[in-house]
Structure 1
Amino acid sequence: MMPTPLNEREITAPVALTTAYGTLNHDALGWSRTPLHDTSGIPGRGHWGRNKRWEYWNVMTVSHIIAFTISCVDYMALHEVWVLDRATGEEIGTTTISPGGRSATLPPSLGDGPARARTRRISLDVDESFDGTRLRGTTPRVSFDMLATRPPGHESLGVVVPWRRGDEISRFQYTVKDVARPVAGTVTVDGTPHDVPPGSWAVLDHGRGRWPYRVHWNWAAGSGLVDGRVIGLQLGAKWTDGSGATENALLVDGHLSKISEELVWDYDPQAFLTPWHVHGTSADLTFTPFYDKRSRTDAVVIASRTDQLFGVWSGWVTDDTGARVRVDGIEGFAEEVLNRW
């Protein structure tokens, strides 16, 4: 299989994701290096059941991995908090599913207000501040309070992915993938506090869109320091294939280089913990996993199969000047997800 080059349009001015009729605004197609899309038209009338809205955060420290989700998919809200003790391998997960969307508060567009989840077992708060994003959560065994800072000039990848049926685009997704956010704070497990020290990194997946019922995707990210520079890696596949868009990008000291190429992903779905190879003309990357977060859900209407591998990246990516940038040693994840939702 060969990588596929694409011609993608950079968006540099604010634009609405949807029209007044709730359909995709074709002027919104493209990618941006800061959040410029107004997504207040999601959910919108006449499309009930296909609207998906979420905020997912992942934080990697030397001692723990912390992840949480606030989401609403019209007919239900799903919230999760998950923590891994990297020394012992113990994982603590709490998931709640509730009918409708009353337990979820999600801003119309990124940065336009708080995100919150409120159930008997999970409380989550995401609040923007002048210096970053405050992340707080509580479950029966876990609590955390962290600040993901936003350094001056820090860029993130926003992209609209369309799914076509002939000439019609009835399904589409706007995503912001924000990698290499320095984070600090505290995570408390069973009453014992643990610092989130310097050198910890946060990653955001912000999503608003209308999805097909079945979807298959790869997503990968990495953050860290290489030769004194802050390196962020953002990669995706399968769900974007054939759409004319990719969610591939490299971040170096806050500057984003767009990778307009459908990269090739080589890995063994029967042995996820063996090394992965993601490559093309603009990248040659190896991902070596050390932990598989396996999730399986079968709730009749909703079913999902997720293997999220945490590990270490090595290799290179070409930036927008044509230089090869090494990513050796940065940590992150790569996942395969199959959803029926």
Structure 2
Amino acid sequence: MRPDISVVLCSLNGAEGVDRCLTALAAQTARPAQITVVDDGSTDSTGDVARAHGVGLVRHPVNRGVAAARNSGIAASTGSIIAFVDDDCEPHPTWLAGIAQVWSEVDDDVVGVGGRVRPTGEPGYLLGFHRRHNPLEPLDEALALGDGFAHRLRLYAQRQWRRAEPTELRRVFSLVGANMSFRADAVAAVHGFDEAFRFGGEEVDLCMRLRAAGGRIAVSEHPVVDHRFVTELHDVLRRSRAYGWGSARMFDKWRSGLPTVFPGPVLLLAAVAVAARRGIPAAAACALLVPQLLHPRGVRDAVETGALESLADPYVRVAQETAENVGLLSGLWRAWVTGRPI
């Protein structure tokens, strides 16, 4: 029997995206039990857009963060499954039917199911970059096998050389907030999202607690949403820094293993410093070569597809990792030195 699914859409000043998303939800081949928009303290017309579409609306008088918004959506939902989508996403017409199909087939110990997030936006280099290096991929289940430095470094190195092959249904460590769904009773049993996570990391934290309670998390290729990226470099780095803040929150809460620090920027800085002793040309050559060695997929993609723009990918990847390291360190400084919440 297919489950009844409630859909939750959270937004902060995203009226235009809410309109696009609700239009896409209205075109679904399967009908949800309900749709709830959570307006998390917006100052634009988000609430008016939700009312115009005739869906449920919960409004926070002030911005409380994405975890609190998701919890308000959960409280307003009646379905046995609660599906989440973001205001910068547009579900494909079969998205809801795909979620329902997966839930009707998985074992009872599966408590979370996600789908594929496809980057969209203005055509150009950065859209191609996001499609080659999608930041909205579910975290691999291999992360659960260990939290030591050697294990993390091996997984990091493997990701530089090979892409994850799409499969019908696979187990994962955690889901992506833009396309995820959970059993309502399982989420209630772990008391929902941790509202200390105002942005970034809240879905990873929830999945970790669900896994600790004995549940399994899975992802399918069939429930697909398009995620609209701002294809500008400053937004790419802003998003990466926000991921670093999320990592700081995770580490500050769990204090297990090591925080997620990317070694590439540190290695690049050390190599350039050593090469600089031989002069500026040596340092410049090192700065050009080392990113290609750290992220060899750029060369491989250029050879396999003929798209020479892939050769620029390693430099953007190093910039992303640097921004994420900065976000992590600034978040930990805020929590551990100033004593303020991250």
TM-score after normalising by structure 2: 0.31
TM-score after normalising by structure 1: 0.31
Higher strand share: 1
Higher helix share: 2
Determine which structure has greater relative contact order: mean sequence separation of CA pairs < 8 Å that are 6+ residues apart, divided by chain length.
Answer: 2
